[in-house]
């Protein structure tokens, strides 16, 4: 009887062992072959922020030992910009070279090193379809594009050729295709080159609708940058609201607005069953205008998720960070920096900010609350 029990026990152990080996074979094969589990979705994050206005004071603040450097002005937001998969900003200045001098308003011309600073901060795309691109004429505008591109940045809204006007900017980000379009309302009355109708993406509604129609089938996400609206107005016009609705119906997913130099509302809305995002104006990122509102801006971050099995892409989240173009005195010189307001508030409270003290908290809280109101008001 004892031998019989021993045989039965040995057989049971052998059966369990063989079963476990068989069950574990797929896992062992997967491990040995090095195959990762099949990915069914991909999420990317797009970032945008307000206008850059290179006033005389901002230009001068970058001069250090005979060289212009601007990385320090963007250093406080660098970690935020770099966290995105693709980040864009609008430059309202020419990079036309030092020949005629560097000047601020009304005819902006900034040093080339600004382009290097934008790239080093983590920006990927600079939009140029704005009212200051011709501040140093056609040659200055083309040189601006060259400098930006040589610094590793994409450009949009101004085209050196007809072929480029007809070639849309599409970025493939881990299998998610994002298309970008940009348009501006005017060039401050400076005539566009008549022999180059392709040069400037003028904000003509019918042209924009045609461009959206052509680009929509090629991409998963379609982003439109619009330089529009009324300067210093806290709200968009009825015409803008209606135009944006038509752009969304035609196929746009995102509208990033600029030009008013103050914050205007943002909202997520549903059009034809799809979530869409619009911010009518992101205010100013960097500049030296009068008043708190005109030196305030916002960093917008949008997360999109693509189902890799169905190909469907949806807006997952909308986040924002209020910013402030902060002027301060250091070594008897005026300097500027773009500060993320919530982080700066915490640093001030912890006495860790090098340039702001407790008496600045009321101002920072005001900027934060004003931005919150605009980001949550349709």
Tell me the per-residue pLDDT of 321-370, one tens digit each, with 9 for 90 and over: 999 999 999 999 999 999 999 999 999 999 999 999 999 999 999 999 99
12 has a pLDDT exceeding 80: no
pTM of structure: 0.90
Confidence of residue 30 (pLDDT cuts 50, 70, 90): very low
* pLDDT value of residue 38: 85
Average pLDDT, the chain: 92
Distance, in Å, from the CA atom of 258 to the CA atom of 71, rounded to the nearest integer, reads 23
Confidence of residue 31 (pLDDT cuts 50, 70, 90): very low
Structure tokens at 65: 């030992």
* pLDDT value of residue 11: 52
What mean pLDDT comes out for the span 217-245? 98
DSSP letters spanning 286-333 = E---SSSGGGEEEEEEEEEEEETTT--EEEEEEEEEEEEEEEEEETTE
Contact (Cβ atoms closer than 8 angstroms) between residue 322 and residue 301: no
Q: Which residue has the higher pLDDT, 118 or 28?
A: 118
Half-sphere exposure of 38 (CA within 13 A, CB side): 4
What mean pLDDT comes out for the span 181-207? 97
Domain covering 41-340 in this structure, CATH number: 3.60.21.10
Alpha-carbon Rg for the chain, nearest whole angstrom, is: 26
24 has a pLDDT exceeding 60: no
2 has a pLDDT exceeding 50: no
* pLDDT value of residue 29: 41
* pLDDT value of residue 365: 98
* pLDDT value of residue 32: 46
Tell me the per-residue pLDDT of 76-118, one tens digit each, with 9 for 90 and over: 999 999 999 999 999 999 999 999 899 999 999 999 999 999 9
DSSP letters spanning 183-201 = EES--TTPPPPTT-TTSB-
Confidence of residue 378 (pLDDT cuts 50, 70, 90): low
* pLDDT value of residue 179: 98
Confidence of residue 34 (pLDDT cuts 50, 70, 90): low
Tell me the per-residue pLDDT of 121-157, one tens digit each, with 9 for 90 and over: 999 999 999 999 999 999 999 999 999 999 999 999 9
Cα end-to-end distance, the chain, whole Å? 85
Confidence of residue 232 (pLDDT cuts 50, 70, 90): very high
**Residue 114, number of CB atoms within 10 A of its CB:** 28
Q: Which residues contact 204 (CB under 8 A, 6 or more apart)?
A: 183
13 has a pLDDT exceeding 80: no
């Amino acid at each position: 009887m004892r031998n019989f029990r021993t045989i039965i026990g040995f057989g049971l152990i052998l059966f369990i062992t063989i079963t476990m080996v068989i069950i574990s074979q797929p896992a062992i094969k997967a491990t040995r072959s090095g195959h990762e589990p099949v990915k069914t979705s991909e999420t990317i994050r797009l970032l945008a922020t307000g206008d850059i206005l290179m006033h005389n004071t901002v230009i001068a603040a970058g001069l250090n030992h005979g060289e212009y450097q601007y990385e320090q002005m963007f250093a406080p937001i660098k970690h935020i910009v770099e966290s995105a998969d693709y980040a864009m900003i609008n430059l309202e200045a020419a990079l036309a070279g030092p020949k005629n001098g560097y000047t601020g308003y009304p005819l902006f011309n900034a040093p080339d090193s600004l382009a290097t600073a934008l790239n080093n901060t983590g920006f990927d795309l600079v939009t140029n379809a704005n009212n200051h691109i011709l501040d140093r004429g056609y040659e200055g505008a083309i040189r601006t594009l060259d400098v930006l591109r040589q610094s590793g940045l994409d450009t949009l809204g101004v085209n050196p050729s007809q072929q480029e006007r007809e070639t849309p900017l599409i970025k493939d980000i881990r299998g998610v295709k994002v298309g970008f379009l940009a348009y501006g309302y005017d060039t401050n009355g400076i005539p566009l080159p008549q022999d180059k109708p392709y040069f400037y993406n003028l904000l003509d509604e019918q042209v924009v609708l045609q461009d959206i129609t052509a680009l929509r089938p090629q991409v998963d996400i379609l982003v439109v940058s619009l330089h529009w609206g009324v300067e210093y107005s806290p709200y968009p016009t009825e015409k803008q609201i209606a135009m944006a609705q038509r752009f969304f119906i035609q196929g746009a997913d995102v509208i990033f607005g600029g030009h008013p130099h103050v914050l205007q509302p943002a909202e997520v809305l549903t059009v034809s069953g799809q979530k869409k995002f619009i911010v009518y104006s992101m205010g100013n990122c960097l500049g030296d205008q009068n008043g708190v509102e005109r030196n305030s801006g916002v960093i917008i971050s949008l997360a999109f998720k693509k189902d890799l099995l169905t190909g469907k892409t949806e807006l997952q989240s909308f986040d924002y960070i209020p910013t402030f173009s902060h002027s301060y005195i250091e070594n008897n010189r005026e300097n500027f920096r773009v500060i993320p307001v919530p982080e700066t508030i915490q640093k001030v409270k912890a006495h860790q900010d090098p340039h702001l003290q407790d008496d600045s908290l009321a101002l920072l809280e005001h900027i934060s609350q004003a931005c919150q109101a605009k980001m949550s008001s349709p």
